[in-house]
């Protein structure tokens, strides 16, 4: 294996080059190489200054996350950064790409920093439940003070070069070839005899001590008020607070103690799982077998909330869009739905009016299919009814050019049946967006029986253009996400029928980490949506299956949730925050009495156990049936589309963490009460029998 870090010499400047694709992560060999090259350069009398440069697309994007679950190997990254800083000759970091986490810390360990335009900087450690622990939490505030460091490290989102320069974190912007400019900068430092500036010895960031303390206290109060369940952010704050209170050598010890606590916390493992799950989900087998077709112009059928959201996502991706509605009035509304998204951007100063005009110039409204003859792909987002979908696909089949991809945004219906009305089922695919489609990152790509690899690869290419997180799903009622929600939604209603109030169920689910509970969600989405689905299923529902009619009673009263001012909660004067409704509780009482149920009390833990056991069991069945390719895909769907708390990794990861035997025990216990509803998934039973977990199915 070749060394990923090398030292060469250009004149009297040593050039350390890191070459560890894809993102130059600071794995063991890179750390060892950096230490060794700095030592060599320091000892080499022909070298007077050193440039650290990285080949490929980026300066190191951080520590190597794949190493986190292995025993640590020396040298630790913090020692590498200190070693760089300790070099007796000027060290210049030449930065490009995404300078993140440990990469940023290597840069701050260097004495000078030069960066190429477009470089992004950040400390995303918090997103994997840890903190910058290679001296970053101690060095950055020494330059910037507390505010910017708190902001960057607690949010975890990257910032651009302009901001970094303004904060004093980068000394020079390269306007030509970065490597050459860095070498010239090093030469200049030598000629001008600019003294070495070690960040760990600086204190300019602490000059305004009052401002420093105020920033810490303001952030602490905000965090305590928000009552966030996340573990790492408060540890980050403690590190930044300590930076001003102790010399660097002590600060880095504290930083080490804090990261140890983070690493041992279950949130870290869950968040690392979420990180890799997201990257795994995009790897569809079809993409390896076929190339995507060209995508420049697409059609969207329907201008409602979904159609307009998809249109905005497509326009944002740089595509031309033809939106089709059935008549002049509907298309006018569709156009308005699209325009108002951009108008809001203009009003908030995010884009100029000219930019909005330029984007809208790529949008064409239409009331017929005639203009769709040359589009590369069509997404149908019409009413969720099989006959309506079939009419649309029959019409599209007549006008689309050969090779145009025909996608349905259905969230429940059988795409094989939709494809069957066309002469080209190989071009038909499901692209299930989540509302608001221009914001939600999840895209379920549903794979019907006859779809071609090329069509799937094109769907994936669209997801990439739209910056979506795509997950592969087989065809079944509700696909992965909605099929699961149907199951645990039933459990929520069972719990209410048995004695919990909807408000307690919501509170228990929020306590687990969801932003809102299932009944708040129903009020937000509109109770009529679930009602329509239940009516559709009524004909095929087994009369012996448990059915809780409480939601129907509310809908019969016209209480559909926020949009009608009343659902499970009351929403006074258009408020989006509901208050509890005694009349709802009375309806629930009446329904319990009708069902002959004597209500009992539940603990929040009992509610969550049952709710999640149903979710996990359905997820296991979905994997068992091959609808999901692996358990981590189920996790991605739930985290990105259904607000499952990311810090718990997803339902399948959560199950692994609490123990599958515990989940199975809950299911068996519930089956004693309702054996028809609670059937343990064969996959879950099998894994428990073999002492394995869901993660064992994620490999490969
Ligand atoms: C840290 O630094 C801790 C320190 O403070 C101190 C500790 C003591 N490690 O996302 P992509 C892989 S914590 C290992 O598809 P993009 C990724 O899995 C770290 N692997 O590309 C994928 O592999 P594959 C702080 C990594 O262009 C491939 O690279 N840093 C790492 O859309 C391409 O990734 C972070 O948290 C890594 N650090 O986005 C940065 N990063 O092809 C995390 C990526 O086999 N990374 N890979 O699936 C990112 O945010 C994005 O990957 C990045 C590129 C923006 C860099």
DSSP of 326-362, one letter per residue?
A: SSHHHHHHHHHHHHHHHHHHHHTTSS-HHHHHHHHTT
Ligand 1 center to residue 223 CA distance, Å? 27
> Which atom of ligand 1 lies closest to the CA of 105?
5
Question: Is residue 65 lining ligand 1, measured as CB closer than 6 Å?
Answer: yes
Q: Whose CA is nearest to atom 19 of ligand 1?
A: 62
> Which atom of ligand 1 lies closest to the CA of 279?
48
> What DSSP line would sit under 33-83, residue for residue?
HHHHHHHHHHH-TT--EEEEEE-TT-S--SB-GGGTTS---SSPHHHHHHH
Question: Is residue 64 lining ligand 1, measured as CB closer than 6 Å?
Answer: yes
> Which atom of ligand 1 lies closest to the CA of 124?
36
Question: Is residue 134 lining ligand 1, measured as CB closer than 6 Å?
Answer: yes
Question: Is residue 125 lining ligand 1, measured as CB closer than 6 Å?
Answer: yes
Q: Which of 125, 286, 444, 497 is catalytic?
A: 125
Ligand 1 center to residue 124 CA distance, Å? 10
Strand pairing partners for 49? 13
> Which atom of ligand 1 lies closest to the CA of 103?
2
The verdict on whether 105 is a catalytic residue reads yes
> Which atom of ligand 1 lies closest to the CA of 100?
30
pLDDT at 700: 65
pLDDT at 325: 96
DSSP one-letter code for 172? E
Q: Which residue has the tokens 């009446």?
A: 590
Q: Which of 67, 74, 85, 105 is catalytic?
A: 105
- For residue 514, what are the CA distances in angstroms to 394, 510, 608, 614, 642? 41, 5, 11, 16, 9
Distance CA 628, CA 434 (A): 18
Distance CA 431, CA 381 (A): 10
Question: Is residue 279 lining ligand 1, measured as CB closer than 6 Å?
Answer: yes
H-assigned helices in 438-525: 453-465, 479-498, 502-512, 518-525
Both structure tokens of 185: 């900068």
Strands 442-446 vs 469-473: parallel, antiparallel or unpaired: parallel
Ligand 1 center to residue 598 CA distance, Å? 54
Question: Is residue 22 lining ligand 1, measured as CB closer than 6 Å?
Answer: yes
Select from 457, 444, 467 the least CA-distant residue to 376.
457
Q: Is the dihedral of CA 438, 443, 449, 454 positive or negative?
A: positive
Q: Whose CA is nearest to atom 11 of ligand 1?
A: 279
Ligand 1 center to residue 100 CA distance, Å? 9
Distance CA 436, CA 333 (A): 17
Ligand 1 center to residue 61 CA distance, Å? 6
Ligand 1 center to residue 275 CA distance, Å? 9
Name the residue of 4, 23, 25 whose CB sits within 8 Å of the most ligand 1 atoms, as the mutation to test its pocket.
Answer: 23
Query: Residues near 166 by Cβ (< 8 Å), separated by ≥ 6?
Result: none
pTM of the model: 0.94
Q: Whose CA is nearest to atom 44 of ligand 1?
A: 23
Question: Is residue 355 lining ligand 1, measured as CB closer than 6 Å?
Answer: no
pLDDT at 533: 82
DSSP one-letter code for 208? S
Helix axes 479-498, 582-594, angle to 10 degrees: 80
Q: Whose CA is nearest to atom 30 of ligand 1?
A: 62
Ligand 1 center to residue 23 CA distance, Å? 7
475-512 burial, b at 16+ Cβ within 10 Å, e below that, comes to bbebbbbbbbbbbbbbbbbbbbbbebbbbbbbbbbeeb
Name the residue of 22, 27, 57, 73 whose CB sits within 8 Å of the most ligand 1 atoms, as the mutation to test its pocket.
Answer: 22
Ligand 1 center to residue 63 CA distance, Å? 8
- For residue 523, what are the CA distances in angstroms to 243, 415, 442, 496, 506? 46, 28, 22, 16, 12
> Which atom of ligand 1 lies closest to the CA of 134?
6
Helix, strand, coil shares of the chain, percent, nearest 5, are 55, 10, 35
Question: Is residue 25 lining ligand 1, measured as CB closer than 6 Å?
Answer: yes
Query: Residues near 630 by Cβ (< 8 Å), separated by ≥ 6?
Result: 280, 623, 697, 698
The verdict on whether 286 is a catalytic residue reads no
Both structure tokens of 438: 């221009």
Ligand 1 center to residue 117 CA distance, Å? 21
- How many CB atoms neighbour CB 638 within 10 A? 27
Name the residue of 18, 27, 62 whose CB sits within 8 Å of the most ligand 1 atoms, as the mutation to test its pocket.
Answer: 62
Distance CA 543, CA 671 (A): 18
- How many CB atoms neighbour CB 448 within 10 A? 22
Cα end-to-end distance, the chain, whole Å: 23
Ligand 1 center to residue 33 CA distance, Å? 20
Q: Whose CA is nearest to atom 24 of ligand 1?
A: 279
SS3 assignment, position 25: coil
- How many CB atoms neighbour CB 48 within 10 A? 17
- How many CB atoms neighbour CB 435 within 10 A? 15
Q: Work out the angle at residue 497's Cα, subtended by the Cα atoms of residues 493 and 502, and round it to the nearest 5 degrees.
A: 60
Q: Is the dihedral of CA 594, 600, 602, 607 positive or negative?
A: negative
Ligand 1 center to residue 127 CA distance, Å? 11
Q: Whose CA is nearest to atom 56 of ligand 1?
A: 61
Distance CA 155, CA 87 (A): 32
Q: pLDDT digit string (tens) for 534-552?
A: 888 888 899 999 999 999 9
Question: Is residue 63 lining ligand 1, measured as CB closer than 6 Å?
Answer: yes
pLDDT at 1: 61
Q: Phi, psi at residue 31, to the nearest 5°? A: -65, -45
Residue segments in the chain with a per-residue pLDDT below the cut of 50:
none
Distance CA 364, CA 375 (A): 12
Distance CA 278, CA 633 (A): 8
DSSP one-letter code for 21? T
DSSP one-letter code for 494? H
Strand pairing partners for 431? 445
Q: Whose CA is nearest to atom 7 of ligand 1?
A: 133
Distance CA 406, CA 422 (A): 10
pLDDT at 2: 80
Report how far Cα 386 is from the mean position of its chain's Cα atoms: 32
């Amino acid at each position: 294996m070749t060394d990923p870090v090398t030292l060469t010499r250009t004149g009297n400047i040593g050039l350390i080059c890191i070459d560890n694709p894809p993102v130059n992560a600071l794995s063991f060999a890179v750390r060892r190489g950096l230490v060794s090259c700095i030592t060599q350069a320091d000892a080499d009398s022909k070298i007077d200054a050193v440039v650290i440069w990285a080949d490929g697309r980026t300066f190191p994007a951080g520590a190597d996350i794949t190493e986190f679950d292995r025993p640590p190997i020396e040298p630790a990254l913090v020692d590498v950064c200190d070693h760089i800083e300790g070099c007796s000759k000027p060290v210049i970091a030449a930065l490009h790409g995404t300078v993140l986490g440990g990469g940023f810390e290597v840069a701050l360990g260097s004495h000078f920093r030069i960066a190429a335009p477009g470089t992004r900087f950040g400390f995303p450690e918090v997103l994997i439940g840890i903190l910058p622990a290679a001296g970053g939490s101690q060095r950055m505030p020494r330059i910037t003070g507390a505010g910017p460091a708190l902001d960057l490290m607690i949010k975890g989102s990257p910032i651009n070069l302009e901001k970094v320069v303004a904060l004093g974190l980068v000394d020079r912007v390269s306007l030509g070839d970065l490597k050459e400019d860095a070498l010239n900068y090093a030469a200049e430092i030598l000629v001008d005899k600019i003294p070495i500036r070690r960040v760990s010895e600086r204190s300019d960031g602490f000059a305004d001590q009052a401002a420093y303390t105020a920033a810490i206290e303001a952030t602490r109060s905000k965090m305590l008020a928000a009552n966030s369940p996340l573990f790492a952010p408060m540890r980050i704050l403690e590190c930044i607070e300590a930076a001003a209170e102790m010399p660097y050598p002590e600060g880095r010890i504290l930083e080490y103690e804090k990261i140890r606590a983070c690493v041992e916390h279950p949130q870290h493992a869950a968040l690392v799982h979420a990180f890799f799950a997201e990257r795994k989900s995009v790897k569809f087998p079809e993409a390896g077998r076929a190339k995507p077709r060209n995508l420049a112009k697409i059609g969207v059928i329907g201008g409602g909330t979904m159609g307009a959201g998809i249109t905005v996502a497509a326009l944002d991706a740089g595509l031309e869009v033809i939106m089709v509605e059935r008549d002049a009035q509907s298309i006018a509304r569709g156009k308005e739905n699209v325009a108002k998204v951009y108008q809001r951007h203009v009003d908030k100063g995010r884009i100029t009016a000219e930019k909005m005009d330029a984007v809208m110039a790529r949008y064409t409204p239409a009331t017929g299919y005639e203009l769709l003859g040359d589009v590369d792909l069509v997404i149908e987002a019409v009413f969720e009814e099989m006959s309506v979908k079939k009419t649309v696909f029959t019409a599209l089949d007549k006008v689309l050019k050969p090779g145009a991809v025909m996608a349905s945004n259905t969230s429940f219906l059988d795409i094989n049946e939709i494809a069957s009305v066309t002469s080209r089922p190989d071009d038909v695919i499901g692209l299930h967006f989540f509302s608001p489609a221009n914001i939600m990152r999840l895209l379920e790509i549903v794979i019907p029986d006859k779809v071609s690899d090329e069509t799937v690869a094109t769907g994936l290419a669209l997801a990439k253009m739209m910056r979506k997180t795509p997950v592969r799903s087989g065809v079944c009622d509700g696909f992965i996400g909605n099929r699961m929600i149907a199951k645990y939604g039933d459990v929520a209603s069972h719990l209410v029928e048995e004695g919990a109030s909807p408000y307690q169920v919501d509170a228990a689910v929020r306590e687990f980490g969801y932003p809102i509970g299932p009944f708040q969600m129903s009020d937000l989405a509109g109770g009529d949506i679930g009602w329509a689905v239940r009516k559709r299923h009524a004909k095929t529902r087994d009369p012996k299956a448990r059915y809780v009619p409480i939601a129907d009673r509310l809908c019969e009263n016209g209480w559909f949730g926020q949009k009608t001012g009343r659902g499970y909660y009351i929403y006074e004067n258009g408020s989006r925050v509901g208050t509890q409704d005694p009349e709802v509780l009375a309806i629930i009482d009446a329904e319990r009495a009708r069902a002959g149920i004597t209500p009992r009390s539940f603990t929040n833990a009992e509610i969550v156990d049952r709710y999640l056991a149903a979710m996990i069991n359905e997820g296991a069945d979905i994997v068992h049936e091959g609808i999901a390719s692996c358990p981590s895909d189920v996790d991605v769907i739930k985290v990105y589309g259904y607000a499952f708390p990311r810090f718990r990794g997803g339902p399948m990861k959560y199950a692994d963490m609490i123990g599958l035997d515990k989940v199975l025990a809950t299911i068996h216990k519930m089956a004693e009460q309702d054996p028809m509803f609670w059937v343990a998934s064969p996959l879950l039973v099998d894994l428990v029998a073999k002492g394995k977990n869901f993660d064992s199915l994620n490999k490969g």
